[in-house]
Amino acid sequence: MALNIPGLVVMALFYLLILGTGIWASLRSKKEEKKCTGDGMEITLLAGRNINLLVGIFTLTATWVGGGFILGIAEATYNPTLGAVWALMPVPYVLTFFLGGFFFAKPMRENKYVTMMDPFQKKYGNVLASALIFPALVADVLWVARTLVSLGGTMSVILDLPYVYSIIISSVVAIIYTLLGGLYSVAYTDVIQLILIFISLWVCVPFMMTNPHSVDISLTAYNATFQAPWVGTVELDEAGKWFDDFMLLALGGLAYQAFYQRILSSSSYTQAQVTCFASSACCLVLGIPSVLIGAVAASTDWNSTSYGLPTPYERDQAGSILPIALQYLTPPYVSVIGIGAVAAAVMSSMDSALLSSASLFSSNIYKNIIRKQASDCEMQWVIRISVVVVGLAGTGLTFLDSSVLVFWLVGVDMSYTIMFPQLVCILFFKVSNGYGAIVGYIMGLVMRILSGEPLIGLPPSIQFPGCRLDKEGKLTQYFPFRTAIMLISLMSILLVSLLASIIFNKGLLPEKWDVFNVKRRQRATSKVAHVKRTNSEKEEAAVAKQLLDTTSYPE
C-alpha cells in the first residue's frame, strides 16, 4: 500500500485548524488574565473560573470521548469473546456525570480548590498528599498513552504512515497548543474537535452500513454468522466481572483531575451541574457510531474483501478494527473523514490529560511543597515543563503495547481502587485522617497487585471466588474484585481513622506520637464550631433586637 497523499493533506489541514484555534485561545487567555482578579496560575489551569457554559459542555464531553472511547467501543463490540454488552463506556459515564454533578462538585467548589488533591494537602499534609498524587499522575500518563495508541494505529492503517511518525506528530501538536494557552486553548480546541468527531463519525456510518461485504447487522445481532453474535452475552458466571467493569468506569472517572478541572472552571455550582448533565447525554449519542461500526465489522465476510483471511481478530488486530473497517469497507475519501474523527478524539483527550497532570504537579507539589514563594511567571514555566514531561512519558509508553483497552482499563483501575475511596473519605467523612489514608492506600495498592491483571500478563496471587481461565485461555477474576478492593480500602480508611482518633483523643498514646495531629485538629475543629455557633447566636440576638426597635405597636 502506497502513502495516502490526499489523506495526509486532509490531516495536515486538520492539525493546522486545531493549532490555529489553540493559538487564538491563548491570545484570548492573555486578555482574560488582565481582566481577572485571580492569579496567573488560576487563569491557566481553570480559565479564571469563568468558562462559558456551552464551551464547558463541549470540553467535558470531549475529554471523555477520546480515542480510547471511540476505538475501545468498536473493539469490544467486534470482539467475538465480548460483544456490545461489554462495550460499557457510554452508559457508566452517565452515572459518572450525575454523581459528580449532584455530590462531588459542591464540596470542591465551595472550598474554591484548584485541584482535586487540595483537600488532601489541607487535611493530611504535604508528605501523605504527595504519595496520593502518584497514582493520579500515573493514570494521566496512561491516559496520554492510550489516546496516542488509538491514533497511531488508525493513521498507520488508513494513511500507511509509520506508527512512530503518527504518534510523534500528534503528540507534538497537542503539547504545543496546550503549552500556549492552558485550559482556554484546551477548551476552545475541544469545541472544534467535538464537532468534527460528531460529523465525521455519522458521515461514515451510512457508508459502513451499506457496504457489499457485510450482511444486515440485525441478522447477526443474535445469530452466529461469520463469528459469534455481535450483541454478546453476559452469562450468570460472568455477571460479577460485568458489574465490576461497569462500576470501574462509572466511579473511576470521578477520581480524575480532568473532571474537577472542568467543574471548578465553571462560574457557578448550577453551571457545573448543567455541564455534567448535558455532557452525559452527549456521551451516549457519540457512543452509538462506534457500536454500529463494530457491529458491521462483526457482520463482514472478510474473505470477500481485499483484507482477506484470517480475520482481524485472528490476526490479533481487534484493537484496530475501526480503522480497518474504515479502510476496507468504505470509499477512500470516507475513510479519511473517519480518521479525522479519531484524530479529533485523540487530541481532545490528550490535551486534557496533559493539563490535568501539569495541574497536580505545579499546584500541589511545586507551589505547595517545593517553592511556596514561586511567582506567577515561574509557575507558568513549571506548568509548561510539566506538560512536556508528561507528554514525552505518555508518548514513550505507546511503544510498549498497541491495545487501547490495556491502557484504558489499567489507568481507570488505579483511579477506582486507590484514589476513589480516598476522595470519598476526604470529602464526605470528617472522621478520616492520615492514619486511615495510609492503611487504605497500602491495602488498595497491595491487594490490587496481588489480584493480578491478564491484560499486562500479571498472574493473580489472590484468587477470588470464580477465578478461572477465560475464553482466550487467560486466568481471569470473574468476581467483582476491583469493587471489593475499593470497598475494603474505603472501610480501612474509616475504621483506622476512627480507631486513631479514639486512641489519641482519649490519651491512650502520648500526643507527641500523633504525627498527623489528629487531636490538635479535633481541638481546632471544635473551636471553630464553637466560634461559629457563638457568632450565629450573637447575630440572631442583634437581628431580634433590630426587629424590636423598628416594630411599632398600637397605643
Model-level pTM? Answer: 0.86
Q: What is the pLDDT at residue 457? A: 76
Distance CA 214, CA 216 (A): 7
- Judge contact between 266 and 272, C-beta under 8 A: yes
Residue ranges per structural domain of the chain = 5-426, 429-516, 523-550
Q: What is the pLDDT at residue 26? A: 75
Q: What is the pLDDT at residue 478? A: 92
The helix (run of H) or strand (run of E) holding residue 496 is helix 481-505
Q: In degrees rounded to 5, what are phi and psi of residue 553?
A: -115, 150
Q: Which CATH architecture has domain 5-426?
A: Up-down Bundle (1.20)
Place of cell 451499506: 210
Distance CA 431, CA 496 (A): 10
Question: C-alpha angle with apex 478: 474 to 482, nearest 5 degrees?
Answer: 105
Q: Which amino acid is at 131?
A: A
Q: In degrees rounded to 5, what are phi and psi of residue 160?
A: 60, 30
Q: What is the pLDDT at residue 273? A: 94
Distance CA 357, CA 348 (A): 15
Distance CA 285, CA 429 (A): 36
Q: What is the pLDDT at residue 77? A: 96
- Judge contact between 391 and 354, C-beta under 8 A: yes
How many CB atoms lie under 10 A from the CB of residue 298? 30
Question: C-alpha angle with apex 342: 339 to 348, nearest 5 degrees?
Answer: 140
**Under-50 pLDDT residues of the chain:** 529, 547-548, 551-555
Name the burial class of residue 362, with classes exposed (0-12), middle (13-18) and buried (19+) by CB atoms within 10 angstroms of its CB: buried
Strand runs labelled E in 318-388: none
How many CB atoms lie under 10 A from the CB of residue 37? 6
- Judge contact between 521 and 460, C-beta under 8 A: no
